[in-house]
Amino acid sequence: MHYLTDEEDLGLFRRLAPQEKAEVLDEVDETTLKRLVAATPGEQLAEIVAFLPSDEAADVLGALPSTQWASVLDRLPDAEPLRKLLSYPATSAGGVMSQGYVDVTADATADGAIGRFREKQDAEHIFYVYAVEDSGYLVGAIDLRTLLTAPKDASVRDLADGGVVTVPPEMDQEQVAAIFARYDLMALPVVDADHRLLGVITADDIIDVVQEEASEDVAHMTGTDAHELEKKSPTQIALMRMPWIMATMFIELIAGFVVKEFDHTLAQVLLLASFMPIISAISGNTGLQSAAIIIRGLSTGHVRLSDWKHAVVRQLATTVLLGAACGIALGIVGALWYGKWTFGALVAVGMFASVNIAGAVGTAIPLFSKRLGFDPALTAGPFETAFQDVVGISIFLGMATLLLPYLK
């Protein structure tokens, strides 16, 4: 399907049996999913989603406008679980959870829990059995090994681990992924405000989330779209990237005006122009590295806004070392090239200052964006590089102007 044209894969899809169509829709990329679902009549779509687990069926129907998937739900015999899942945002814990889990009343015995386990043939996750009250209140979880080795008449309430980690349905999927990584979980129950079990998020679902979020972060930092390679035309890709490129260009124009203001200095010491792109490139790369580390740290939970000072200090300590190493190396080259140690010192200090400014900006912008509620990856990348160029070049040429008498 991936290597076929739009017309070819649609023609092939129409020839498949409903169960095969369900498998295809569960595996194809988001762009292809939306196109295939949009081309499928409602009655056929209802037949297809009947073969899918509730969370995957919700993903398929989520590719349609709500007015259309409502008519599909009306054709299903038991649509309530799907309605519940579709009521949550697609990128929330409620949107990625599954209802294919095994639950048992807390007053049951171990033997009764095993019987319940046998009844739930459609359960996706079989490593835990969840003990609940009649109201649905989650008492705890029992891993399969404990259940199978317990005496038959042992109480489920006594066997259940009440310290199970849970999340609310409104939690963002990135935060859910961070909890999975922090606690090395195989499954994570989703509960409402009254601690009633709503569903379970499994590890295989969260792997897809991690990959999706990482792709989006990288794409945002470069000013592109995570899915731009998925059968989009060059015109569509250009239109998506154009605003970022244009915004960066106009910010860089400020750097051009700065250079124009210092044309007298450059005319006096022409070799300064040879070192400007080097300083700009190295400091820009340092800033992007800092931004990438902070953004991934925020995504995985290793960097928290409540402990922002620790993250800033670590990044600045790193850029001080990087700036010093690069500054000394480039300063030696500048001194030998120009023949004066004062020129080498200027280049060294300029490189050191620019690298540290870039590191500070690359660290601060994602944290500041997150604090204001924006996507950190969206505000980094092109803007960070352009801002750093303006400040770095201004400092470098300003210092050169002050030291001009010592460079002649």
pLDDT of 322-352, one tens digit each?
A: 999 999 999 999 999 998 898 899 999 989 9
Distances (CA, A) of 208 to 191, 214, 255: 22, 10, 41
**Is the separation of the CB atoms in 253 and 261 below 8 Å?**
no
Query: CB pairs under 8 A, 24+ apart, for 159-166?
Result: 159/110, 159/131, 160/106, 160/131, 164/138, 164/140, 164/189, 165/189, 166/138, 166/190, 166/191, 166/195
pLDDT-based confidence at residue 201 (cuts at 50, 70, 90)? very high
Residue 33: is its pLDDT beyond 60?
yes
Pick the CATH number of 234-407 from 1.10.10.1800, 1.10.260.40, 1.10.357.20, 1.10.8.60: 1.10.357.20
Residue 20: is its pLDDT beyond 70?
yes
Residue 302: is its pLDDT beyond 90?
no
What is the token pair recorded at 364? 């601060």
Pick the CATH number of 6-87 from 2.40.50.140, 1.20.1420.30, 1.20.1070.10, 1.25.60.10: 1.25.60.10
pLDDT of residue 213: 66
Residue 217: is its pLDDT beyond 70?
no
CATH 1.25.60.10 residue spans of the chain: 6-87
pLDDT of residue 129: 93
Fold of the 102-202 domain: CBS-domain (3.10.580)
Paired sense of beta strands 102-105 and 128-132, if any: parallel
pLDDT tens-digit profile of 154-166?
999 999 999 999 9
pLDDT of residue 156: 95
Residue 224: is its pLDDT beyond 60?
no
Residue 243: is its pLDDT beyond 90?
no
- Average pLDDT of span 267-274: 84
pLDDT of residue 308: 80
Listed in sequence order, the residues at least 6 apart from 208 whose beta carbon sits closer than 8 Å to its beta carbon are none
Listed in sequence order, the residues at least 6 apart from 238 whose beta carbon sits closer than 8 Å to its beta carbon are none
Determine the Cα–Cα distance for residues 96 and 282; give it in Å rounded to an integer: 41
- Average pLDDT of span 123-148: 89
- Average pLDDT of span 246-252: 78
pLDDT-based confidence at residue 223 (cuts at 50, 70, 90)? low
More confident call, 329 vs 364: 329
pLDDT tens-digit profile of 56-87?
888 888 888 777 777 788 888 777 778 888 88
> 3-state DSSP call for residue 186?
coil
pLDDT of residue 13: 95
- Average pLDDT of span 196-201: 94
pLDDT of residue 36: 92
pLDDT of residue 375: 65
pLDDT of residue 225: 54
Residue 381: is its pLDDT beyond 80?
no
For the entire predicted model, the pTM comes to: 0.63
Share of the chain above pLDDT 70, in %: 88
pLDDT of residue 68: 76
CATH 1.10.357.20 residue spans of the chain: 234-407
pLDDT of residue 385: 66
Residue 281: is its pLDDT beyond 90?
no
> 3-state DSSP call for residue 72?
helix
Share of the chain above pLDDT 90, in %: 29
Listed in sequence order, the residues at least 6 apart from 204 whose beta carbon sits closer than 8 Å to its beta carbon are none
pLDDT-based confidence at residue 216 (cuts at 50, 70, 90)? low
- Average pLDDT of span 144-159: 93
